Amino acid sequence: MARRSSSFEWILPPRPEGVSAFRWLRNVLREEILNGRILPGSRLPSSRELARQYRLSRATILAALDELQAEGYLEGRRGSGTYVSEHLLPISALPQAGSPLTRGEANAAAPQRPRMSSLAQRVQPLVMAVKPENRAFRTNLPALDLFPTTLWAQVAARRMRSATAADLLGCDSAGYMPLRQAIAAYSHRSRGIRCTAEQIVIVSGVQEGLDLSARLLVEAGDKVLMEDPGYQGAATLFQAMGARIVCMPLDAEGAAPQEAGLRGCRLIYVTPGHQYPAGMTMSLPRRLQLLAWAGKYNVPIFEDDYDSEFRFSGRPIPAMQGLDTSGRVIFCGSFNKTMFPSLRLGYLVLPEDLLEFFLRAKAMTTRHHSILLQAPLCDFIEQGHFGRHLRRMRNIYAERLALLCECAGESLGESLEVARIDAGLQTIAHLRSHLTALGVTAESLARRAAQYGIDVVPLSFYCRQVKAPEAVQMGFAAVEEREIRIGVRKLARVLESLQAQARAGASGQG
């Protein structure tokens, strides 16, 4: 093998300003070796000779050589000196991206990435409709500017000052027990949940809870029931699992399943407290019927309670879980809408016979969530701050919804019918029949509104099989009063321009 003698002098490039001599020499020698300009097996000059040639301290030379030796580029031979490793392959010998290959080389290099699983190949992008740069009428967001950040910081700081070594170590997979106890007490008072703290598992939110449930309960090819229109995060997950999605249409009472649909079903996904995205609340007779069928056919129900705590008239409707007598309901709540999305904390209330399976799976994935967030949240709930925050936000959201309906009635009443919902962060607005007769659609309205900086989401975005009515989803919770008024005026101009364009097109065809 070719070797370089120790008398050879490498021509080193100038040292960049601000780079230490040690880093510069180490990087230059590493690059020379990788590019094959210093051959494998070459003997390096002694540290004294290198120090003399390049006018560097011997300590700098030794530090650079020691690090390159630790990284495997060099090897020392007792009584002989320092050599470039015999086993290094220069970069030029490795396949380069985009380099021309012969047919045989191409076949040999064909797998450009590891073979992906069937799950990976089924996963589709989860398209989020929210555009954070738009104010009105963004959906799925609470009023983050009104969250009491100073109070939260004080609660968190007190907890951090008293943190013990055990707190810094972590907790078991189910989560921080004092938080689970606080959630059990709170959810019983506010949502009618019947459970012990041991049945609660802390998760990052609805999506993680749903993912755990699908992985443990659904195999590829299994039948899953979900609402249509429904939450696209659930549909994307079930599709990735290879499930056969059977859609439940909606009526005025919420999801309307047929008993035959539950035969052979492995999971039912519903949003009974506040249907997403249409907004109605599932009636008590419908809930009882669904629970009876689930018990008869031994089908678990995943109850997604994403924002029903924001109810504007009366107390929040009790959860289905509180009506369940056969242990079929998996209840999932979240603090990411009631507090702030980056908190990433929610909870599952699990039937006792499923608990151990979920804890095993949780231990293999996220293991547990940070106590440095769980503990302050526990204090926030127990000290009454969470309840006060919810009451304040319910009043504000009710006022913003009322203002939206009032402004829409004045400026959009001839074009859009805005639904007066009982709970949530967004509502639905239906296009009037004369608009649809002209060919104006929810999709065309959303596209044109985006040009004006207005964010509305066509209901068809959430549909799989049913034909969506011409309607758009409009958020109000994160939109200030002034922005609601401005947004309604802009939306009125958008609708006027769409009508004018449609009439012009119709007259041109005539």
- Residue 135 phi/psi, 5° resolution? -85, -65
Distance between CA 311 and CA 299 in Å, rounded? 29
Q: Could you report the per-residue pLDDT of 50-67, keeping only the tens digit for each?
A: 888 878 898 988 898 888
Tokens of 312: 């504007």
What band does 4 get if pLDDT is binned at 50, 70 and 90?
very low
Q: Where is average pLDDT lowest: 1-5, 324-328, 490-494?
A: 1-5
pLDDT at 282 exceeding the cut of 90: yes
Between residues 10 and 213, the one the model is more confident about? 213
Report the C-alpha gap between 312 and 476 in whole angstroms.
13
Strand partners of residue 303? 270, 331
pLDDT classification of 149: cutoffs 50, 70, 90: very high
* Domain over 389-509 is classified CATH 3.30.260.10: no
Average pLDDT over residues 109-126: 74
Tell me how far apart the alpha carbons of residues 85 and 265 are, in angstroms, rounded to a whole number.
61
CB 442 within 8 A of CB 471: yes
Position 78 scores a pLDDT of 81
Predicted pLDDT at 97: 52
pLDDT band at 6 (very low <50, low <70, confident <90, very high): very low
227-242: buried (b, 16+ CB within 10 Å) or exposed (e) per residue?
bbbbbbbbbbbbbbbe
Quick check: 316 pLDDT over 70?
no
In percent, the amount of the chain with pLDDT more than 90 equals 59
> What is the C-alpha to C-alpha distance for residues 360 and 204, in angstroms, rounded to an integer?
16
d(Cα 18, Cα 6) in Å, to the nearest integer? 30
Every domain range in the chain assigned CATH 1.10.10.10: 21-92
Residue type at 255 in one-letter notation: A
- The confidence band for 1, taking pLDDT boundaries of 50, 70 and 90, is very low
Specify the pLDDT at position 2. 40
- The side-by-side arrangement of strands in the sheet containing 471-475 is 416-418, 426-431, 471-475, 457-458
**Interval 328-348 mean pLDDT:** 94
pLDDT at position 115 is: 80
The model's pTM: 0.80
Compute the average pLDDT of residues 293-319: 87
**Would you state the pLDDT for residue 413?**
83
Question: Under CATH, which number does the domain 21-92 receive?
Answer: 1.10.10.10
What is the DSSP code string of 143-184?
Answer: -GGGS-HHHHHHHHHHHHHT--HHHHH---TT--HHHHHHHH
For domain 147-383, the question of CATH label 3.40.640.10 is answered with yes
Q: What are the residue ranges of CATH 3.40.640.10 in the chain?
A: 147-383
Whether the Cβ atoms of residue 322 and residue 194 lie closer than 8 Å to each other: yes
Handedness of CA 201, 206, 209, 213 (dihedral sign): positive
Mean pLDDT is lowest, of 8-17, 58-67, 171-180, 379-388, for: 8-17
- Position 104 confidence tier, pLDDT thresholds 50, 70, 90: low
- pLDDT tens per residue across span 230-269: 999 999 999 999 999 999 999 999 999 999 999 999 999 9
Average pLDDT, the chain: 87
Check residue 509 and give its pLDDT.
Answer: 61
Q: Residue 143's closest CA among 416, 351, 403, 341? A: 341
pLDDT classification of 442: cutoffs 50, 70, 90: very high
Helix boundaries (H) for 36-85: 47-54, 58-70
Q: What pLDDT is stored for residue 193 in this prediction?
A: 94
Domain with CATH 3.90.1150.10 in the chain: 389-509
Query: For residues 424 and 476, what is the distance between their CA atoms, to the nearest angstrom?
Result: 9
* Residue entry with tokens 């504007």: 312
Tell me which of 2-6, 151-155, 423-427 is least confident: 2-6
CB 177 within 8 A of CB 171: yes
Q: What confidence score (pLDDT) does residue 506 get?
A: 67
pLDDT above 70 covers what percent of the chain?
Answer: 90
Point out which residues pair with 439 in neighbouring strands. Answer: none
pLDDT higher than 80, residue 30: yes
The answer to whether the beta carbons of residues 180 and 267 sit under 8 Å apart is no
- What contacts 126, CB < 8 A, 6 or more positions away? 232, 233, 236
User: Considering only 74-78, 87-91, 98-102, 460-464, which range has the smallest mean pLDDT?
Assistant: 98-102
Is the model's pLDDT at 107 over the cut of 70? Answer: no
Does 16 sit behind a cis peptide bond, omega within 30 degrees of 0 on the bond before it? no
Burial class (CB in 10 A: 0-12, 13-18, 19+), 127: exposed
pLDDT at 345: 96
pLDDT digits (tens, 9 = 90+) for 154-207: 999 999 998 888 888 888 999 999 999 999 999 999 889 999 999 999 999 999
- Rank 5-9, 125-129, 465-469 by mean pLDDT and report only the highest: 465-469
